[in-house]
Amino acid sequence: MKISFNCYLIYACILCSLHLVRCDNSVIRNVSIYGDFNTPNNDGIDIEDSNNTIITDCHIDTGDDAICPKSSTGPVYNLTATNCWIRTKSCAIKFGSASFFNFEKLLFDNITIVDSHRGLGMQIRDGGNVSDVTFSNIKMRTRYYHPSWWGRAEPIYITTCPRHPDSKEGTISDVRFINISSVSENGVFLAGSKHGLLRNLKFQNVDLTYKRWTNYTGGLYDYRPGCQKMVKHRTGGMMLEHISGLEVDNVRMRWSRGSLEGWDVNPLLFRPSTIDGLSFHDWQSLDVQ
């Protein structure tokens, strides 16, 4: 479904994706979307080049990205998504990867994510910038699926890098994660790039539990599309690259060691030469049963 320009109030139960293009002042309320869980290119709600959008009280169960802001021909700003339930074989909330223009003033609050391949994601690949984003009061469970699907069970995945060697690099700044809890088969992945730094990220009241319950291979980081693609790597509770300013306040990592047998894991993985401005207050990494 493609809706352009002024889009008002929508009540629906649909079996395909909802795609808003160049809309203004849209409200999507009480929408249930049931896509094919095994089919790619099967997004739930795409918000493309659209502004002043509200998504609330929605149920999305689909194979590809569930709520997906894209900036192809213009910016995306003033998007609010609240009180939603999401299951997807890709990313529950994903910025991009079409990201030619800026994303500003976005709020995602009171959202439940279950059995998804990736939770909260940004794939900034085309030179647009992201700023002033809040993720709050979110509960999620992320797991591995076959690696042909983009995603490696990351609860939080924030990346910026050039799609092609000659592409411009965008930046991501002023992003807040507040009152977040997750149970995941992989760690948080925060990777900027040399000319596309992640700036001023904040994690406050975040509870991250790591355990394994599928048999898919771990130890891979997924940079797709573009960039380095798939990279073998140790598994970190947080993996950090090219960041200037990261504040961690009241964050718990809980490792279910009984389920992690054979995993090469570390609470924090980073190269000091790519990181500055780290602040850790009341941070713990704990082994649990």
Does the pLDDT value for residue 191 go beyond 60? yes
Residue 243 pairs with which residues in a beta bridge?
Answer: 198, 275
* Cβ proximity of 93 and 121 under 8 Å: yes
The pLDDT value recorded for residue 40 is 83
Region 70-287: CATH code: 2.160.20.10
The pLDDT value recorded for residue 190 is 96
pTM of the model: 0.93
* Cβ proximity of 144 and 218 under 8 Å: yes
Identify which of 277, 264, 274, 267 has the alpha carbon closest to the alpha carbon of residue 242. Answer: 274
Give percent of the chain with pLDDT exceeding 90: 72
pLDDT tens column, 12-54: 444 458 999 999 999 999 999 998 898 888 899 999 999 999 9
How is the chain split into domains, by residue range? 70-287
What letter would DSSP give residue 193?
Answer: B
Does the pLDDT value for residue 10 go beyond 50? no
The pLDDT value recorded for residue 1 is 36
The pLDDT value recorded for residue 233 is 81
Beta-carbon-side half-sphere exposure of residue 46 (alpha carbons within 13 Å):
25
Which whole number is the average pLDDT over 273-287? 94
pLDDT tens column, 88-121: 999 999 999 999 999 999 999 999 999 999 999 9
Does the pLDDT value for residue 128 go beyond 80? yes
What letter would DSSP give residue 176?
Answer: E
Residue 122, both tokens = 């940004």
The pLDDT value recorded for residue 8 is 44
pLDDT tens column, 220-265: 888 888 777 788 888 889 999 999 999 999 999 999 877 666 567 7
Residues 46-74 as b/e (b if ≥16 CB within 10 A, e otherwise) read: bbbbbbebbbbebbbbbbbbbbbbbbeee
The pLDDT value recorded for residue 41 is 83
